[in-house]
Structures are given as C-alpha cells and as structure tokens.
Amino acid sequence: MNKTNKSEIEKVLQKLDEKFINKEIDETIYNELKAKYERQLNEVEKREIEEQLLVESKISKPVKLPYAEKPDDDGNFTKIGITIFAIIIIVGVFFIATQLLQREAMQNVELSLSDVQIRNIGLSSATLEVYINMYNPNNGITATLDRMDYSVYANGNNLGNGQITQRVDIPPQGTKTVSSTFQVSYAGAIGTAWSALTGGVNIKWNLKGTAYFDTPLGTLNIPINQYK
C-alpha cells in the first residue's frame, strides 16, 4: 500500500468516529469496523517501515576496514579483517530484525480509559482527572510511552484537549496507570456538556488521541478511542 491508501484509511476512521458520535451507527458495528481499519492502518505503517529499511540498505555504503584488503606476506587477504567485517554485517542484520520485531510487538500494547473523575467544579471552570490503563502483553519487551495527546468528550461533546508528557515504562506482561489533570472552562465547553458536569447527569466519557511509543527505529504512533 502507498501513502494515498494510508490517508484514505485515516479518513475512513475519522468519518466512522463522526458517524458514531452522531449516533448514525450501532456501537457493535462501529467497534468491529474500527478494529478492522486500525489493523489495516498498522499493516500499512509496518510495510512503509520495511520498504524504507530496504531502500536504506541498498544505498548505504559498506564499512571498509583499512586492513581488509591489505595482502599478507603470502599475498592473501587478511583473514582477521574479513572475519570482523562479516561479524559487523551479521550483528547489523540481527539488530535491525530484532528492532522490527519489537516495533511490531509495541502495536499490541492495550490502552483503555480507566476512569474520569470530577475533582472540582467552580463557577466558570471544572477540574477533571483522566486515568488511562496501559497493558503490555509482550514477553521480554518493555514498552516506553514517550507522550500522549488526547481529547475528552462528554456525551459526544468535545470538552477540549490534553497531553501527557511524562515518560512511562511498561514492563513485559505488566500494567501501568497514568493520570492527567484536565481543565474545562465554561467558555470552552458546550452548554449541554457543562450541564452534565454540574448537574450530576450520567456521563458517557470518550477519550480520543494518539499515544507515542519510543523505539530505536523511531516513534510508533498508536491511536486511542476509548469509552467509559
């Protein structure tokens, strides 16, 4: 797939979210379609990385050891130099293959909206605490969250945007919960959402955004769309 196909999938996901928020599509169908297109998007990103590595491997120059081509007293190439060169190539290939596997494993990290608590409500603003669970199902691979950008919705109404900037290491087969303080102002909240916050109405929370995980081959972006 090319960049155009990736862009098309992202547009489909965006339209799918809009239809669900506008209650034009059933939640069960929405979740099935969402999972399907997110898998396709991950496959596209994985293929792009593999193609980039292939191109870089073709244009990169081999390491030239100063004594690799120096003949010894018998006129033969120095065996030690050739051996070292071969070891460098093998280690490099092994490193790239290992990092590709680890990057693919990062896509299995499960993110979920644990809770949204209203800490304080004033005359013109409210303070929310957003809790996000992160589970790393991989064996022997620690997942490192670099940062997270997100938006909070209450009953389908956008309350604003937030960010988690702390780095979090999630051990193999482990779970970490991170929290983020979120400020909502009356000027920035839709009237119906503000009424829900201040009136004790049952609220259906929705967290959308992107989590960024560090890998030696670059940052891996994992989309978030969770309900509570």
- Laid out side by side, the sheet with 110-121 consists of 110-121, 125-136, 174-185
Q: Does residue 41 fall inside a structural domain?
A: no
pTM over 0.85: no
Whole-number average pLDDT of the chain: 76
Q: What is the mean pLDDT of residues 198-220?
A: 79
Query: What total number of domains does the chain contain?
Result: 2
Q: Does residue 42 fall inside a structural domain?
A: no
DSSP 60-112: SPPP--TTTT-B-TTSPBPHHHHHHHHHHHHHHHHHHHHHHHHHHHHTT-EEE
Handedness of CA 16, 195, 116, 202 (dihedral sign): negative
Q: What are phi and psi of 209, to 5 degrees?
A: 165, -155
- Identify whether residues 114 and 221 lie together within a single domain: yes
The pLDDT tens digits of the residues spanning 55-96 come to: 766 665 555 544 444 555 555 556 676 777 778 877 766 656
The pLDDT tens digits of the residues spanning 12-62 come to: 888 878 887 887 888 788 788 888 878 887 887 778 777 777 776 666 555
Structure tokens at 72: 């010894």
Domain endpoint, select from 88, 105, 122: 105
Give me the pLDDT at residue 175, please.
Answer: 92
Q: Does residue 71 fall inside a structural domain?
A: yes
Domain of residue 97: give its range. Answer: 61-105
Q: Does residue 134 fall inside a structural domain?
A: yes
The CATH number of whichever domain residue 160 belongs to comes to 2.60.40.10
The pLDDT tens digits of the residues spanning 110-157 come to: 888 999 888 888 777 888 899 999 898 888 788 888 889 999 888 888
- Identify whether residues 72 and 118 lie together within a single domain: no
Domain endpoint, select from 35, 70, 105: 105
Please give the biggest Cα pair distance in the chain. Answer: 92
Which amino acid is residue 189, in one-letter code? A
